[in-house]
């Protein structure tokens, strides 16, 4: 079942910032079609997020298979004030992650 979320902004055609509403709390999520590389996290997440009281959880999603379980595993460990970064290494994973997070807007492919 998709989560309730709100699009905050598009960082690029392949990256979105969402607020996820879960169990009475709001969590910031950075979702992007990018390589699973720590440098990508620094490029997506503003410094203020790292300076806040919450933790930043990072997950690499490689396929669109069983996205509910993959995202559920990340969300299970969240505490109020935390944020998540989902680095989707394929277009299928990116699209599936957005749908699971309640964003069913079609995504155009990343230019090669």
Q: DSSP letter string over the chain?
A: -PPEEEEEEEEETTEEEEEEEETTEEEEEEEEE--S-HHHHHHHS-HHHHHSSS-EEEEEE--STTHHHHHHHHHHT--TT-EEEEEESSHHHHHHHHHHTT-----PPPP-
- Domain regions of the chain by residue span: 4-100
CA distance 74 to 51: 21
Please say if the pLDDT value at position 111 is more than 80: no
How high is the pLDDT of residue 47? 82
pLDDT tens track for 13-22:
899 999 999 8
pLDDT tens for each residue of 72-96: 898 888 888 899 999 999 999 999 9
| Mean pLDDT, rounded, of the chain | 86
Say whether pLDDT at 105 is over 70: no
pTM of structure: 0.86
Q: Which two tokens stand for residue 28?
A: 């910031």
């Amino acid at each position: 079942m998709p989560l309730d979320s709100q699009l905050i902004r598009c960082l690029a055609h392949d990256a979105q910032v969402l607020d996820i509403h879960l169990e009475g709390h709001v969590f910031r999520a950075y979702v992007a079609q990018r390589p699973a590389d720590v440098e990508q996290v620094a490029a997506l997440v503003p410094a203020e997020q790292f300076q806040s009281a919450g933790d930043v959880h990072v997950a690499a999603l490689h396929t669109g298979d069983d996205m509910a379980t993959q995202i559920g595993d990340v969300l299970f460990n969240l505490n109020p004030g935390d944020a998540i970064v989902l680095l989707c290494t394929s277009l299928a994973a990116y699209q599936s992650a957005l749908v699971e997070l309640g964003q069913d807007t079609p995504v155009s492919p990343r230019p090669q």
